[in-house]
């Protein structure tokens, strides 16, 4: 049964998009464009929710609707139950204080120290000096910049600049943090440390995080829930573990194929054939989760089919804290072996995908 988005209780939703479309009218040289088409989506309070899509899919437009930088052409965006499109200037100012945002290029002010950058939104809101000190110091501790409070951004690394961005976003004690490709300009190691920080903030402060990204690695590392956006439409959504282990839409499958560990060795990929000739071997990807990840599956498979099994590629990983494995194996493509193997896979609850055949 499908529950219409409009009847879902709002209480658990930090953000709710209800049939949201966004059309940009033609102007000058550019033709009219529909950036979002009838998007319905809820972001659960306390979750880290990822929205992933390719360049131009509509991610930034979606996130800009949340803090009122854009208004929907139709439909409603609610933050904490409040209809963003109906807010006046004062309402929008209040909303933006309760919604923090971090950016790909950090957007820190080079003329201000680390402390001065984090203090800025509080100065603007008219907070007195002592209260600002009391608010900013613990935030610098939280993001690991306490010893850098008097430094200027030019003296800091990209990861440290993003830590300023995060502390500044948290200064007004928001309930929701929006992250617009916040790790896209960082190297993989720094990305991991920033993602760890976001996870800690989510757990310790109970802050809801809505992040947009084009990187599946980011979604895998940090989110509990994910929505896949393609050409302005949500094409798949769910718990991150479920979407990663059973991707249904071609866009999700394509985005996942870029993850390290999911690729076949080049030499094998080149030699794959779509149909078997006599004596060929079938190449199969096995995906296993939870308890299956801890069993000696390959030795059991060899016993069951009574034939040789080659291991071609394999990866063990964690998605949303749950173990997950992917193994590519090859065995005889003769009907008897294939039937025994399929029986073994179904008895053991393994998800399988035939990738092709090799000589």
Ligand X SMILES: Nc1ncnc2c1ncn2[C@@H]1O[C@H](COP(=O)(O)OP(=O)(O)OP(=O)(O)O)[C@@H](O)[C@H]1O
**Binding footprint of ligand X on the chain (CB under 6 A):** 24, 30, 33, 35, 53, 55-61, 214
Q: Closest approach of Cβ 181 to ligand X, in Å?
A: 7
Task: Specify the residue, 2 or 55, whose C-beta has the smaller distance to ligand X.
Answer: 55
Distance of closest approach, residue 61 Cβ to ligand X, in angstroms: 3
102-131 burial, b for 16+ CB within 10 Å, e for fewer? bbbebebeeeebbbbbbbbbbeeeebeeee
Shortest CB 70 distance to ligand X, Å: 8
What is the distance of C-alpha 357 from the center of its chain?
A: 34
CB 350 within 8 A of CB 292: yes
What's the CA gap between 252 and 264, in Å, rounded? Answer: 18
Q: Give whichever of 68 and 332 is closer to ligand X, judged by the CB atom.
A: 68
Taking the least distance from each CB to ligand X, the nearer of 228 and 283 is 228
**Which of 24, 103 has the CB closer to ligand X?**
24
Q: Which is nearer to ligand X, 21 or 348 (CB)?
A: 21
The answer for residues whose C-beta is within 8 angstroms of residue 258's C-beta and 6 or more apart is 216
Our CB check for ligand X shows the closer of 56 and 206 to be 56
Minimum gap (Å) between residue 23 Cβ and ligand X: 9
In the complex, minimum distance from the CB of residue 36 to ligand X, in angstroms, rounded to a whole number: 8
Q: Which residues of 216-244 are buried (b: 16+ CB within 10 A; e: fewer)?
A: bbbbbbbbbbbbbbbebbbbbbbbbbbbb
Question: What is the rounded distance in angstroms from the CA atom of residue 317 to the CA atom of residue 348?
Answer: 20
Work out how close the CB of 226 gets to ligand X at its nearest, in angstroms, rounded to a whole number.
Answer: 15
Rounded to whole angstroms, how far apart are CA atoms 175 and 234?
A: 24
- Cα–Cα distance between 179 and 103 in angstroms, integer? 6
DSSP 182-203: TTTTS-HHHHHHHHHHHHHHHH
CB of 164 to ligand X, least distance (A): 22
Which of 18/230 has CB closer to ligand X? 230
Helix (H) / strand (E) element for 346: namely helix 335-347
Other CB atoms within a 10 A radius of the CB of residue 1 amount to 2
For ligand X, the closer of residues 45 and 214 by Cβ is 214
Least Å distance, CB 222 to ligand X, is 18
d(CA 271, CA 264): 11
- What Cα–Cα distance (Å) separates residue 319 from each residue in 8, 213, 248, 289, 326? 27, 17, 17, 10, 12
User: Nearer to ligand X by C-beta: 22 or 148?
Assistant: 22
CA–CA dist 17, 57 (Å, integer): 16
């Amino acid at each position: 049964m499908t529950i219409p988005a409009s009847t879902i209780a709002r209480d658990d939703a930090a953000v709710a998009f209800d049939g949201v479309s966004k059309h940009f009218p033609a102007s000058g040289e550019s033709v009219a464009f529909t950036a979002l088409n009838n998007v319905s989506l809820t972001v659960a309070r306390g979750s880290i929710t990822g929205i992933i899509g390719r360049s131009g899919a509509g991610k930034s437009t979606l996130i800009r609707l949340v803090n009122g930088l854009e208004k929907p052409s139709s439909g409603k965006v609610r933050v904490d139950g409040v209809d963003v499109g109906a807010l006046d200037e004062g309402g929008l100012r209040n909303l933006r204080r309760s919604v923090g945002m971090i950016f790909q290029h950090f957007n820190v002010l080079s003329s201000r120290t680390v402390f001065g950058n984090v203090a800025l939104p509080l100065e603007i809101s008219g907070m007195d000096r002592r209260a600002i000190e009391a608010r900013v110091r613990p935030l610098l501790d939280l993001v690991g910049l306490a010893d850098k409070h008097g430094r200027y951004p030019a003296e800091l690394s990209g990861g440290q600049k993003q830590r300023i961005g995060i502390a500044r976003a948290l200064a007004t004690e928001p309930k929701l943090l929006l992250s617009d490709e916040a790790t896209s300009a960082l190297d993989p190691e720094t990305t991991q440390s920033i993602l760890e920080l976001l996870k800690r903030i989510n757990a310790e402060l109970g802050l809801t995080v809505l992040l947009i990204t084009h990187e599946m690695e980011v979604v895998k590392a940090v989110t509990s829930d994910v929505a896949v956006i393609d050409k302005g439409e949500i094409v798949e959504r769910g718990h991150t573990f479920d979407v990663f282990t059973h991707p249904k839409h071609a866009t999700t499958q394509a985005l996942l194929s870029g993850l390290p560990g999911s690729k076949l060795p080049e030499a094998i990929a080149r030699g794959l054939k779509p149909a078997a000739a006599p004596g060929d071997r079938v190449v199969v990807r096995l995906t296993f989760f939870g308890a299956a990840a801890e069993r000696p599956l390959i030795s059991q498979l060899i016993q069951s089919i009574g034939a040789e099994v080659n291991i071609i590629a394999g990866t063990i990983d964690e998605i949303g804290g749950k173990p997950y494995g992917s193994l590519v194996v090859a065995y005889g493509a003769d009907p008897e072996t294939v039937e025994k193997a399929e029986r073994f896979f179904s008895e053991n609850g393994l998800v399988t995908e035939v990738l092709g055949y090799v000589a």
